[in-house]
Amino acid sequence: MSDELRAQAQDAVRSLRERQGQLDDASLDLILRDARSHYAWTDEPVSDAQLRTLYDITINGPTSMNTCPARFVFVRSAEGKERLAKSMKPLNIPKMMGAPVTAIIAWDPDYWKRLDFLFPHDNRKPMFEGKEDYANDTAYRNSTLQGGYLMIAARAMGLDVGAMSGFSNAVVDEEFFSENGWKSNFLCNIGHADESALFQKLPRFGFDEICKIM
């Protein structure tokens, strides 16, 4: 990386901190503190433009060595929903079918082959080539992170989300990824929630119960 590009990157971060040092309390409430996982949805659609914006925000979240292993399939059509329903536990089908969009957060086992583009200043491909367990562990961990970024980004955009893991990964992979070899991680419904399905927020641990400062 040239000195000029390095200086530009550093100046960009300094400028960002000057413009916005931190989020206000209302923003933190929206994305995490008071946010809820949703199970029922209004019929308000999620547009292609919103999904593209959602991706553009999500993809800027950090991953190990900028590997960016996550792949996203946004299932919106009736045909796609029927295919996805084949994989799901019965109680989860209405949640998915009622959502305007269900994202399949997946990962590509061959992600590391694009490191010449994603990490051009050093050759990191030998770290992964022929090391399937290490490569897959890296992909699963980082695609999970990227799925989390997707959820927070959606909330920041004024959308609601409901992540789901009650489905068969094998069936999803057969239905959607038989040609490209991607592997599903988890699902996330996206839309505008019908809050009438909510119940009370469940407990969380206190800091002193599960944290240490050393």
* Residue 98 resides in a domain: yes
How confident is the model at residue 1, as a pLDDT? 64
Instruction: Indicate the angle between helix axes 78-85 and 169-176, nearest 10 degrees.
Output: 140
* Residue 119 resides in a domain: yes
* Residue 71 resides in a domain: yes
Q: At 161, which CATH number?
A: 3.40.109.10
* Residue 21 resides in a domain: no
Looking at the structure of the chain, the number of domains it has is 1
pLDDT digits (tens, 9 = 90+) for 73-131: 999 999 999 999 999 999 999 999 999 999 999 999 999 999 999 999 999 999 999 99
Residue 23 sits at φ, ψ, to 5 deg, of -80, 150
* Residue 26 resides in a domain: no
Residue 28 sits at φ, ψ, to 5 deg, of -65, -35
Q: Tell me the pTM.
A: 0.94
Angle CA 32–33–35, to nearest 5: 60
Supply the range of the domain harboring residue 54.
37-196
* Residue 20 resides in a domain: no
Instruction: Indicate the angle between helix axes 132-156 and 48-58, nearest 10 degrees.
Output: 120
* Residue 120 resides in a domain: yes
Q: Which of 146, 116, 144, 141 is nearest to 129 (CA)?
A: 116
pLDDT-flagged residues of the chain (< 50): none
Cα(23)–Cα(21) distance, integer angstroms: 7
